[in-house]
A and B are shown apart, each in its own frame.
Chain A
Amino acid sequence: MTMLPTIEPRGDARLSVRGLSARFATEEGSVCAVADVSFDLLPGRTMALVGESGSGKSVTSLSLMGLLPRSAHARVEGRALFRTRSGQLLDLLALDAPRLRALRGNELAMIFQEPMTSLNPVFTVGEQIAEGVRLHKGLGHAAALAHAKRMLELVEIPAAAQRLHEYPHQLSGGMRQRVMIALAMACDPSLLIADEPTTALDVTIQAQILELMQRLQRDSGMSILFITHNLGAVAHFAQDVAVMYAGRIVETAPVGQLFASPQHPYTQGLLRCLPGSERPHGAARPARLFAIRGQVSSPLAPPPGCAFAPRCDLAGADCDERVPPLLAIGPARQARCLRTPPLPR
């Protein structure tokens, strides 16, 4: 048995997160939003971070970017080793503000969920793309605008030269998300964090945006941390998946294996929740949509052991004793469950 958090970060990874945890002080007490999150993201690959609302996906991404609001009084622990273009290894969680700022928008980029509000309403699209380029690449105004136009063309916005001088409210949601991608890609990042980039868009546009991101990834070789609750998008877009529940990663696997044979009871339940997914035993289509029983436990009073135990059919007394460790269950898979057969030594 190997426990992932203690092993050294992979040398070839773009991003190696080890033991990331984030606590917030609230009126009712300390809340652990993210606990002991560890994963490796390889260059040119996409890793999906999947989970329901409140499972800690967004807090994980914001911690990595150093964007948790200061007023949240977050205590972030762990390491997140990021390999820069020049091969330097930097711990994102330990960097001081100016150095982190120099990375953000440059080597580290982020796309947000709401394209409607993530652009500044009073500036043209071109100016907003140009801002990052001027900041990080030191280009002049005209050169930055020319670069912004190329970026708009790159994200397949028609009539880029004209769009450059338009304001966000003149663009549709899909167009705005393309602009956001252009903004994020403007400095050719090596790691892109996409926080539910397609959630606010309708389905046809979702597919287009994901395809666009995939093409940009092929061309640039960047790594993508793809945060979503859309399992369909995960299946098409990601190579690796980490499933989060109540702030912890409960299962990680290559995407094909996860969908073919989910191991953690939560992942199994999650996949069965998909409309149209087949039941394991026989019936082609369930009469009713499956729902995992119970509710997510309150982050203020988490269960003593496995957070999923109160909702799990397989849970026994031992599940409540302590939080199960994330154990290797296959060559590239881990699960955080006592019932899942571990990889034989």
Chain B
Amino acid sequence: MKLPLTLRRLMRRRIVMAAAAVLAIVAVMALAAPWVAGHDPNDTEVMARLQGPGAAHLLGTDELGRDLYARIVHGARYSLAIAALTATGAVLFGSLIGLVAGFFRRLDAPLMRVVDAMMALPDILLAIALVAILGATLVNVVLALVFVYTPRVARVVRASTLVVRELLFVEAVRALGVGTARILWRHILPNLMSPILVQLSFIFAYAILAEAGLSFLGVGVPPDIPTWGTMVAGSQQYAHQAFWVVLFPGLAIIVTALSLQLLGDGVRDLLDPRLKKSM
């Protein structure tokens, strides 16, 4: 069976392909963590603390003698899960708000002013404040990040809705007797899939960074849960004697976030008809 044209075009861009491949590897390793890690991520081996990369410990050990590779692989599960939940939540709520604000003129101003107010606060500050209020648990970190990123999605989706709403086909389906809810859900939303997908991939990347940032600042996930952010945060004071304790989790963050951004760029270029010619 032939792949859809969009997918085939996506494959043609090498950087996007490479980014997708990296993400696939990260995702597979995260899913298969118990089998590929080799060590228990929380096994402390005090005699072997702060060991450099070597045969026994592929990427070395941290200050408690925990295997870095195992922790990164297990941390991927948490980091990716947090980011995925955040991106999904933000896209769901943001799309809903944007769609309603863009379609119903009466609701536009009230909804968007709230969104503007939310966007007026710096992302990370808002997230810190929310986690500080709610308490530092995994669920609360996700909630705070969803709250932070929802307005971004809402803005983009609203802008796109304003364009699609004016297209004649909306009037044409209305002339077919289709109700408003169905027009929104079945006719307008599918036309917004490209900006929504792009937002999804970008927010996924932002959320990985933001979770790491929150953990680094000590208002993120509890330190006993291995995420890439808690790894960097927990080991930072040993960085001058054992650079690998922050380098490898840091690299994991950078590579994953960068790949997601590249993939998002690729999807956007692909779906934007004005940029199609340059491909």
Contacts and interface: CB of A to CB of B under 8 A. Distances in A.
Interface of A: 65, 67, 71, 101-106, 109-110, 112-114, 117-123, 128, 131-132, 135-136, 180, 183
B169 A135 contact: no
B190 A104 contact: no
Output the residue of B105, B168, B172 with the most chain A CB within 10 A. Answer: B172
Interface string B143-177: 00000000000000000000000011101111111
B174 A67 contact: yes
Given A71-B105, A112-B168, A114-B168, A120 B175 contact: no
A180 B172 CA distance: 9
B191 A67 contact: no
Contacts of A128: 173
Output the residue of B169, B179, B187 with the most chain A CB within 10 A. Answer: B169
B178 interface: yes
A307 B189 CA distance: 45
Interface residues of B, number: 18
Given A112-B171, A118-B168, A118-B169, A131 B176 contact: yes
Interface of B: 105, 167-169, 171-179, 186-187, 190-191, 193
A20 B191 CA distance: 36
21 contacts: A65-B175, A67-B174, A67-B175, A101-B178, A103-B177, A105-B175, A105-B176, A106-B177, A110-B172, A113-B168, A114-B168, A117-B168, A119-B172, A120-B173, A120-B190, A122-B190, A123-B190, A128-B173, A135-B176, A136-B177, A183-B176
Given A71-B105, A122-B191, A117 B167 contact: yes
Output the residue of A71, A119, A121, A122 with the most chain B CB within 10 A. Answer: A122
A135 B177 contact: yes
A128 B178 CA distance: 11
B175 A104 contact: yes
B274 to A, nearest CB: 15
A114 B171 CA distance: 11
B273 to A, nearest CB: 10
Closest 5 CB pairs of A and B: A105-B176, A105-B177, A104-B177, A110-B175, A118-B172
B171 to A, nearest CB: 6
Contacts of B173: 120, 128, 131
Contacts of B168: 112-114, 117-118
B180 to A, nearest CB: 9
Contacts of B179: 101
A252 B190 CA distance: 45
B217 to A, nearest CB: 43
Output the residue of B168, B175, B178, B191 with the most chain A CB within 10 A. Answer: B175
Contacts of A131: 173, 176, 178, 186
B105 A120 contact: no
Nearest to A120: B169
A65 B177 CA distance: 10
A132 B176 contact: yes
A109 B175 contact: yes
Nearest to A114: B168
A121 B191 contact: yes
Contacts of B169: 117-121
A270 to B, nearest CB: 27
Contacts of A136: 177
Nearest to A133: B176
Contacts of B177: 101-106, 132, 135-136
B175 A135 contact: no
B176 A104 contact: yes
